Chains A and B, each alone.
Chain A
Amino acid sequence: MTGKATIRWPDRIMALTALRLILWVIVAAFTHEGILSDPFKVADWMDDHQFYSWEESDRTTLLRYHQLPAWNPFWCGGTAGIAGPEDPFLGPDFVLRLLFGVAHGRRLAICLLVVLGFEGMYRLCRRLDASAVGATFAALVFGTCDRFVSFIRDGWVNFLGFELIPFVLYFLLVGTLGPADETLSAVERTERIRRARLLGGFVVAWIVLSAGTYPTPYAMLSVGYVTVALSILGFFRGRPDDGLQTTSDGGNRWLRVLRAPWLVPWVAAGTIGLVAFGLAAGKLLPTLSFLRQFPRVFAPVEMHTASEMFTGYWGRYAVVLVLSLIGVVTADLAAGIFFGGALLFFALAMGDFGDGSPFHILKSLPIFGQLRFPDRFMVGVLLFSSVAAARGITRVEDALPIAVKRAWDLFLGWRKRTFGGKESPFPPELGWIIVGVAAFLAYSRVARPHAEEILTGVRIRPGTMYVQEGPRNYDGPFKQSRGNRRDVHMFTPANMGSLYCVAGNPLPESALLRGDLAQEEYPADPTKATVKRLEWTPNRITLDVDAKEPTTVLVNQNWAAPWRSSIGTVKSVEKLLAVDVPAGKNVVVLKYTDRFLDLCLLVSLTTLLGVAFVLGRDGVRWAKRERARWATLPLWPDDPVGPPANAAVKSTPDGHAAVGSVDAVPPATATSDAKVDADAKTDEVDADAKTDAGSKTEP
């Protein structure tokens, strides 16, 4: 159960990532043409305007005021920034907003995530040994899921985190089963597994940090299901070769226990979860704290009939279902497991249809309890069924060469029995041709026509998505306005907050907020003091206060606990931010300082540095190995391998990974990472020393 890959020769060409990326970009440019047109416009639906405003607020806070957007003064009279559930500031794709502006950055993020969705699904299917044709089909179908189009239309770019779930599952599989490449040494396999778990954590963190309010729990659910499936598989079938160094535990009983076949998936998933938690702590913990304070209040019972859900799915993705069923009926294990996942998500999509319904049970859990719109689980149905369909296509594709080979054997057997003569082996050239023909037929008859039909149906054409006028900048001093949440994108670029707002959570908003004040900071009693704004930034306000006697200064923003004052005491006046100041002329600095957020961000940063260090160290080791290996490589593939007798090339007893490998130590003799470094250094010296000798063997 090592999950080795069948490599058909068409698969080898598609193995070049850069080549695939070209294909993905071409397809994404076709299907999402409307995303890359109509510059500076926004979608019609108001949520797009709302997200635009928040992101503009985050961008302005960082680039103009050089502060982290811990506080968002532009929305509802002031509310949490980074901790807000829908704030994507810490997401890696937010860099695009910083570089190109919010209007372009949001669209580029969509395109990036679609391409990543293609690539992740392709890799996931290939790791499950789907053919290049099958994997490409699944990638295109899932990456352009019709639900994603409606998410984009509604402005929920953060929901495009769904596109990253295939990558998470891919890294879970690699982190559990190891890489499919058989030629890797035990050390390299260990490194790949470690890297997969780290990257899996990174991708999950990406989903969380990009405000994956729905993608995060869906990813957790997907990982949970696949982990359970792999664990059951490991329990019943065992996993003699998990690709890890079996002797490096130094006889540690606990390490051996952790490598029990049924437990490895849990260790992989747990590691991914731990890394993700560390990386995303800066967003996750403040957001959970926020949600605990202000839980969603509108949580109706929602349910759908099976026929309602199935009809919607069947209408566009009937072929996916049929192909996935082909995988299932041909007893394909991966197809079976992933089809099971599709069924689970389908049951969830039916919503809360009873106390025993999966959605009802799910809602009783933390985090999942705030989920709404169960029909969104149809995204998971498409994800899992696409993988099963990729396996179905692969079954069909592989059937032709097998059939031809059997026919050949039968024919020769019959000829030998009838006419005598010697047996002739199946000619490899014929095998290549048949594999090529099978791949072409699978592409031209199955994958392409259906994929084209699906892609055309979900295509976003120019002039159909972004139809509303974009905002214009107006560089006035910051002030709150009455605003309009339905057009709030107009206010933020004009440096105005919108008091009229909405949120899924009951954000505290003061009734004293006004959109018609002459100045935003003012004394509660104008006869007792004068207040002049010296400086305004989102997280810090500097005021010149001249008070005849102790009095209260009001700020036209909501109060929140992290607000501090350099002089006097911050307090809440009917939820409005206020500060009691002493008599006299003072410069009062009000500052939003969220220590908890700072601590969580520190955890994220530390984890990020740790992950970068491990990945970087592995990268350096890989480079050293490949450099040393270079000297041992023949010039041409069919040249004799000519390392000197005492060269650094090591091989397993059965010749496994012998060619060009410098550290192909069999699992039984492999040692710790420290040994790897030592080996690499020795190999490097040896290889350098032997380069001349090696080159003599080359023709």
Chain B
Amino acid sequence: MSGLDERPGDERQGSPARGAGEGAEPAAPEPSATLGGRTVRSYLALLDFAGRPQSKVAWLVRVAAIGIALFVLWRRVGAVTMPLLTAKPPPAIPTEEIDDYKFRLPERTRREIFAELATAELAERARAIRENTWKGHVWSREDDRGHYERVAARKAAAKHNVSLSQVYLVLDEGLREGWPGPDGKPLPGTTPPLDIRTGW
């Protein structure tokens, strides 16, 4: 009954009506009901997909059913996934630089964005020192800074109506070019090596 607790010789074994389960569908003499000269059971057997087809017509019905089902499945999968797969991707950022435009942004805007990010970064670094966060664990402080940078980057993207990718490209440009922050110094272009905490 559970698929585990039967032994050969159980009542269902060798049941002539394949699949006549114990209790559920008792083995019984062939029914007398007929349709078109054949027994009803004959037609129902065509829809028995649980075992190997026992007749040529059953094979054909099986193949047809699988074919139809696969066609429906294909259509269904297509209907479900097409909106995703046919969506237009966000446009790439060009590498060309025209005049003072880079990443589709003029230098003035890029410097504004960088200044906003640099201001947020310096504020966070100052807070970390002031509050002695993570008891001075350098990497953990950097990890906090990363969080605030993430927030600041979104804020800048929203303010200047640009993509987040553009904001990070601008930050990278500013670091690489040594653009000064609000304190007049460039931001550090390094990050503390990975030194994960062993506790909280």
Residues of A within 8 A of B (CB): 1-9, 11-13, 15-16, 18-19, 21-22, 25-26, 29, 36-37, 39-40, 46, 76, 100, 103-104, 107-108, 111, 127-130, 173, 177, 180-183, 233, 237, 240-241, 297-298, 300, 332-335, 337, 391, 397-398, 401-402, 405, 425-429, 431-432, 435, 438, 469-476, 481-487, 490-491, 493-494, 496, 499-504, 506-507, 509-511, 513-518, 575, 630, 633-639, 654-656, 659-660
Contacts and interface: CB of A to CB of B under 8 A. Distances in A.
Contact of B196 (A13, A391, A435, A503): A503
A486 B147 CA distance: 7
B73 interface: yes
> Lowest 10 A-B CB distances belong to which pairs?
A516-B189, A7-B19, A6-B21, A129-B3, A18-B69, A334-B2, A39-B87, A428-B28, A402-B23, A15-B50
A241 B191 contact: no
Contacts of A183: 18, 51-52
B23 A496 contact: no
A516 B196 contact: no
Interface in B166-186: 166, 168-169, 171-172, 175-176, 178
A629 to B, nearest CB: 8
Nearest to B7: A1
17 contacts: A2-B6, A8-B21, A12-B19, A22-B69, A22-B73, A46-B150, A111-B81, A181-B51, A183-B51, A241-B8, A428-B26, A472-B90, A474-B95, A502-B143, A511-B193, A518-B176, A630-B56
Given A13-B49, A484-B149, A487-B168, A637 B54 contact: yes
B150 to A, nearest CB: 5
A491 B72 CA distance: 41
Nearest to B21: A6
A100 B87 CA distance: 12
A501 B25 contact: no
Contact of A509 (B1, B10, B193): B193
B134 to A, nearest CB: 14
Nearest to B147: A486
Contact of B90 (A7, A470, A504): A470
A484 B142 CA distance: 10
B111 interface: no
Interface in B70-95: 70, 72-73, 76-77, 80-81, 83-85, 87, 89-93, 95
B45 A637 contact: yes
Nearest to B67: A18
A535 B44 CA distance: 68
A475 B93 CA distance: 8
B98 interface: no
B38 to A, nearest CB: 6
Scoring B70, B142, B196, B199 by chain A CB atoms within 10 A of each residue's CB, the highest score goes to B196
Interface in B2-16: 2-8, 10, 12-14
B142 A500 contact: yes
Contacts of B59: 630, 633
Contacts of A127: 3
Interface string B30-48: 1101000011011011111
A474 B94 CA distance: 6
B150 A486 contact: yes
Contacts of A8: 19, 21, 24-25
B107 interface: no
Contacts of B126: none
B189 A129 contact: no
B57 A487 contact: no
A2 B8 CA distance: 7
B24 A501 contact: no
A410 B55 CA distance: 38
Given A5-B3, A7-B18, A510-B193, A494 B168 contact: yes
A355 B166 CA distance: 53
Given A36-B84, A638-B39, A180 B3 contact: yes
A240 B83 contact: no
Nearest to A638: B42
Contact of B175 (A397, A469, A490, A515): A515
- In the complex, which of the residues A4, A425, A502, A503 has the most CB atoms of chain B within 10 Å of its own CB atom? A4
Nearest to B45: A637
Q: Which among B1, B31, B91, B149 has the greatest number of chain A C-beta atoms within 10 A? A: B1
Given A502-B194, A513-B190, A516-B190, 11 more contacts: A18-B73, A128-B2, A177-B4, A298-B196, A298-B198, A482-B190, A500-B146, A502-B143, A506-B194, A506-B196, A515-B172
Nearest to A468: B164
Contacts of A177: 3-4
Which of A37, A481, A496 has the most B CB atoms < 10 Å from its CB? Answer: A481
Contacts, number: 326
A633 B92 contact: no
Give the dominant DSSP class at A's interface.
loop
B191 A401 contact: no
B143 A332 contact: no
Contact of A637 (B2, B42, B93, B169): B42
Contacts of B80: 25, 29, 36, 111
B85 A100 contact: yes
Nearest to B189: A516
Given A334-B4, A475-B95, A484-B146, A426 B28 contact: yes
Given A435-B25, A484-B149, A516-B189, A240 B7 contact: yes
Contacts of B178: 516
B197 interface: yes
A19 B22 CA distance: 26
Contacts of A514: 189-190
Contacts of B196: 297-298, 502-504, 506
A1 B10 CA distance: 10
A7 B21 contact: yes
A633 B59 CA distance: 10
A16 B164 CA distance: 48
Given A332-B1, A333-B2, A654-B14, A398 B24 contact: yes
Interface in B140-157: 142-143, 146-147, 149-150, 153, 157
Contacts of B199: 298, 300
B100 to A, nearest CB: 18
Contact of B3 (A3, A182, A241, A472): A3
A25 B45 CA distance: 27
Contacts of A402: 23-24
A12 B49 contact: yes
A633 B13 contact: no
B165 interface: yes
Contact of B197 (A13, A37, A298, A435): A298
